[in-house]
Amino acid sequence: MQIFLNIVSAALVAIFVQNLVLERALGANVLLYASRNKTHCIGFAVAITYVTTVSSPLVWVLDTLLGENEYYGIFMPILYVLVIAFIYIVSLVVIWRFFPPLFRSLKKYVHLSVFNCSVIGSLFLCSQQGGDIFTYIGYGFGTGVGFLLAAYLLYVAADRLNSSLVPAAFRGYPIMIVYVGILSLALYAFTGYTTSAV
Amino acid sequence: MESRINPRDGFIKQNMIFMSGMLIAPVIACATSFVKSLALCFVFSLVSFAAILLCRFIPRTIVYTIRVTLYTAAAAAVYIPVAALARILFGEAVIGAAGVYLPILVTNSLILSKTETRFYLEPYANMVSDVLGFIAGFDIACLMTGLVRELLATGKIAGAEVPILFTVPALETTFGGFLFVGIGAGLFRAVYNYRKAHADADDEDSLADYAEGMGEFLVGKHRHEEREKIRIYKAAVKRARTENDWLDMEFLNNKDVLAAFEAIINEGNELVGADEGSGDENADETADDSGTLTENSESTGVTEDNDNADIS
């Protein structure tokens, strides 16, 4: 029961309190691409959720074994990249071998959804968050679901944000970023905010 | 054929922060002060530049699905000495405050996607200047963002007090960053569009001249022999298709140039039609080629127009 609660609470924190995109801005550019249509939206979110959830136990092992090392921070990116690459290649080989139609539909953008700052960023956040292996798994899963939430919120507004009602210079990317900023502001209601300003 | 890619594109036209949004997460969340922006630019510049130069030597015979892992691994390897140097230069406090936003730069889209769609299609020397243009564009935009946000949020520049009438502390937050970058991008594009609208009027003549010159080269070089003309036309179409990136951006978005190309294609088709009578067995293939060129040309232009979100 405690394990389940750890996973659920870590996931809820990752979805609503420390949302990957809205609170950390990680994967903001991926979000713009993913929100173009529903297939991309779900496809990217599933890929990100899968990689972060499966990678997080391996990251926990690395953190536990090497976390005390003075230079671990410098070597973290390459270790995490190797973890992601391992998961990515093994998964692709399995899908290619047993689900060829799925592989054909995935191969166009699977690399985009795996090698981006949202995936590696979420693993760094897992590490920052700390906790046991189940917390890592819950947090990894939650970051992917949090991405889906942000991507869907942007997807449903995308048509209006790209309409001719928006001034030409702001149409598309600029107004979408402003919109994500307003969503981010709304999410701050869960946590409040403090600044270093007097 | 000489590359038509403008090495200054990355500086303004495809600025990574204000125009294409290729790398905005670190700027939104981390560029809240001048010093942090400087650290961000330092790490980004060195990691991206070195990784792109190194990855050029990765054989393109390896499929991209796998090659992308090598690109990321190379960037992560370059990050190790760069991060150590950054700690010495900026101190533990600044690097610590930058948090996860420095290491995530190893997966930036300049390394992962722009290399494939642009840099590695150019000769090495052109690529270096092109990459430097993109990096400089990012660095200047990032430093300006950090400077203005620090000034408006805290009334300081690089830690030094500046007497201003009011502060906007929310600019230090993530949502403040989103709003700042979004509004900044809109204003940047407005200025760019305004300048482009005025510049286009001057450029149209020269582009049309260029297209006319191309037409002469493609169709008229060997006037003495029609069959040779067709052969050159076919070769040119094939070349244009394989060097699709060369047929780029402003060049293909220009109506005069498109019209000139259509004229070339029509002339080619007419020649092919005339040649069919004389029994050219490849005539149909030529007609197909011309159609494909037109489609490719249009789609390239549209894609470039809508290319607002590369992936990192």
Among partner residues A116, A169, A182, which is closest to B189 by beta-carbon distance? A169
- Per-residue pLDDT band for B275 (boundaries 50, 70, 90) equals very low
Q: What's the token pair of residue B44?
A: 């980004």
User: Are B173 and A25 within 8 A, CB to CB?
Assistant: no
- Per-residue pLDDT band for B215 (boundaries 50, 70, 90) equals low
- B162 Cβ under 8 Å from any chain A Cβ: no
- Per-residue pLDDT band for A168 (boundaries 50, 70, 90) equals confident
- Helix and strand numbers, DSSP H then E, in chain A: 9, 0
The whole-angstrom distance between B191's CA and the closest CA on chain A is 9
Among partner residues A24, A92, A185, which is closest to B29 by beta-carbon distance? A24
Does residue B285 belong to any structural domain of this protein? yes
Q: What's the token pair of residue A141?
A: 């899963």
Does residue B45 belong to any structural domain of this protein? yes
What is the count of structural domains for chain A?
Answer: 1
Indicate if B38 and B103 belong to the same structural domain.
Answer: yes
As a whole number of angstroms, the distance between CA B304 and CA B252 comes to: 10
Indicate if B263 and B145 belong to the same structural domain.
Answer: no
pLDDT of residue B55 exceeding 50: yes
Does residue A192 belong to any structural domain of this protein? no
Does residue A55 belong to any structural domain of this protein? yes
Does residue A19 belong to any structural domain of this protein? yes
Q: What is the pLDDT of residues B233-262, one digit of tens each?
A: 555 555 555 544 444 433 444 455 556 566
Q: Which residues contact B287 (CB under 8 A, 6 or more apart)?
A: B269, B272
> CA-CA distances (angstroms) from residue B135 to A195, B42, B72, B124, B187?
30, 10, 18, 16, 21
CA-wise closest residue to A14 among A132, A149, A192: A149
Q: Which residues contact B121 (CB under 8 A, 6 or more apart)?
A: B3, B5, B243, B245, B246
Does residue A35 belong to any structural domain of this protein? yes
Q: What does A58-123 look like in DSSP terms, one character per residue?
A: HHHHHHHHHTT-TTHHHHHHHHHHHHHHHHHHHHHHHHHHH-HHHHHHHTTTHHHHHSSHHHHHHH
As a whole number of angstroms, the distance between CA A169 and CA A130 comes to: 43
Does residue B105 belong to any structural domain of this protein? yes
As a whole number of angstroms, the distance between CA B38 and CA B146 comes to: 8
pLDDT of residue B232 exceeding 60: no
Distance of CA B124 to the CA centre of its chain: 16
Q: What is the ipTM of this complex?
A: 0.91
Boundary-marking domain end, from B172, B191, B208 = B172
Q: Tell me the three state secondary structure of residue B12.
A: coil
Does residue B133 belong to any structural domain of this protein? yes
pLDDT of residue B112 exceeding 50: yes
- B80 Cβ under 8 Å from any chain A Cβ: yes
Does residue B9 belong to any structural domain of this protein? no
pLDDT of B256? 53
Domain range enclosing B264: 200-306
Q: Using the beta-carbon criterion (under 8 Å), do A30 and B24 form an inter-chain contact?
A: no
The whole-angstrom distance between B258's CA and the closest CA on chain A is 24
Q: Tell me the three state secondary structure of residue B157.
A: strand
Hey, of A87, A173, A187, which one would you mutate to test binding to chain B, going by the most B CBs within 10 A of its CB? A173
Determine the residue type at B309. Answer: A
As a whole number of angstroms, the distance between CA A77 and CA B77 comes to: 8
Q: Using the beta-carbon criterion (under 8 Å), do B76 and A78 form an inter-chain contact?
A: yes
pLDDT of residue B79 exceeding 60: yes
pTM assigned to the model: 0.77
- How many CB atoms sit inside 10 A of residue A84's CB? 25
- B98 Cβ under 8 Å from any chain A Cβ: no
Does residue A176 belong to any structural domain of this protein? no
Domain range enclosing A16: 2-158
Does residue A129 belong to any structural domain of this protein? yes
Q: Using the beta-carbon criterion (under 8 Å), do A124 and B100 form an inter-chain contact?
A: yes
User: Are B145 and B181 within 8 A, CB to CB?
Assistant: yes
pLDDT of A73? 87
Indicate if B148 and B238 belong to the same structural domain.
Answer: no
Does residue B19 belong to any structural domain of this protein? no
The torsion defined by the Cα of A38, B65, A87 and A93, in degrees rounded to 10, comes to 100
Size of interface A-B (CB pairs under 8 A): 182
As a whole number of angstroms, the distance between CA B13 and CA A79 comes to: 36
Indicate if B168 and B208 belong to the same structural domain.
Answer: no
Indicate if B163 and B215 belong to the same structural domain.
Answer: no
What is the count of structural domains for chain B?
Answer: 2
As a whole number of angstroms, the distance between CA B152 and CA B166 comes to: 8
The length of chain B, given as a count of residues:
312
Among partner residues A32, A172, A195, which is closest to B169 by beta-carbon distance? A195
Q: Tell me the three state secondary structure of residue B155.
A: coil
- Per-residue pLDDT band for B74 (boundaries 50, 70, 90) equals very high
User: Are B9 and B127 within 8 A, CB to CB?
Assistant: no
Indicate if B40 and B143 belong to the same structural domain.
Answer: yes
Mean pLDDT of chain A: 88
